[in-house]
Amino acid sequence: MPNPFAWLDHWRRRRILAKYPIGDTEWHAAARRIDALHGLSPDDLARLRDLAALFLRGKTINGAGGLQLDRQMRVEIAVQACLPILQLDIDWYDGWCEIIVYPETFRVRRRDSDDAGVVSEREDLLAGESWRRGPVVLSWHDVCHATPGENVVIHELAHKLDMLNGAANGMPPLHRGMSHQDWSATLGAAYAELRRHVALHLVTPIDAYAATNPGEFFAVASEYFFTDPLALLRSWPPVYRQLQLFYRQDPATRVRNGPQT
């Protein structure tokens, strides 16, 4: 059903963009640093710039652990955060409001219980974390050192999309016309294959961390989809196709065609 208040939302967004734009200097500096933007058309770049401006207005990005964030750092985080929703909408990030950024990897204390009910504590050293209905937490060092197949911002924001259906279980809300059966079968088969590779100590097509659980498989596959799409396409064409349908983007074609001029 069409939204009768769509015009009001459009008016509100245009007002935000007019009042709180991302400046040319900020935008061009971010675009030069973020390799995943290469190949985007001028129209896509303009849309991404607007989405990032809306993101900055709707979310707070705060430093922690002594990290002092400046405007440029926030812009670069926002731009990467909005790449997955380039052909979706900023509303996909509703329901949470904060990104917390540490200088380096950060420690998180967890409590686990076994089948006998025995509780144990452990500390994990993380580069990023997403909380359902809570903040995204990032390591600035890892944000700055993104490589093909590794982008902590995309990874954690993929978890946020996944959590729109509840737990981060590798099943985000699919679009009308997409098959839940095809999605589950395709990603499930690739996940099982990856786990076999890990168990046999074989070279894995994507980072072995993706074998942790289906939610991590979706997040890591999303990193490859945007930052090393040809590798994902070569390894698992059906997985690439499902992500292409979900994100409504085709980064492999962008890479093949080269940067837009």
Tens of pLDDT, residues 70-113: 999 999 999 999 999 999 999 999 999 999 999 999 888 766 66
Q: Could you tell me whether strands 98-102 and 136-139 are parallel, antiparallel, or unpaired per DSSP bridges?
A: parallel
Contact between 90 and 84 under an 8 Å Cβ cutoff? The reply is no
Can you give the pLDDT at residue 119?
66
Tens of pLDDT, residues 6-33: 767 778 888 888 898 999 999 999 999 9
pLDDT for 260 beyond 60: no
Closest C-alpha to 96, from 138, 131, 123, 64: 131
Collapsing DSSP to helix, strand or coil, 109 comes out as strand
Closest C-alpha to 105, from 132, 144, 75: 144
Number of domains in the chain: 1
Confidence of residue 184 (pLDDT cuts 50, 70, 90): very high
Tens of pLDDT, residues 128-157: 999 988 999 999 999 999 999 999 999 999
Amino acid at 200: L
pTM of the model: 0.91
Asked if residue 9 belongs to a domain, the reply is no
Task: Give me the domain span that covers residue 57.
Answer: 16-257
Tens of pLDDT, residues 236-249: 999 999 999 999 99
pLDDT for 115 beyond 70: no
Asked if residue 3 belongs to a domain, the reply is no
More confident residue, 118 or 61: 61
Asked if residue 8 belongs to a domain, the reply is no
Mean pLDDT of 222-235: 98
pLDDT > 90 fraction of the chain, expressed in percent and rounded: 80
Contact between 137 and 126 under an 8 Å Cβ cutoff? The reply is yes
Collapsing DSSP to helix, strand or coil, 111 comes out as strand
Can you give the pLDDT at residue 157?
98
CATH (domain of 241): 3.40.390.10
- C-alpha–C-alpha distance, residues 86 and 251, integer Å: 12
Alpha helix segments (H runs only) across 132-236: 140-144, 152-162, 180-199, 214-227, 229-235
Contact between 63 and 24 under an 8 Å Cβ cutoff? The reply is no
Can you give the pLDDT at residue 1?
46
Confidence of residue 127 (pLDDT cuts 50, 70, 90): confident
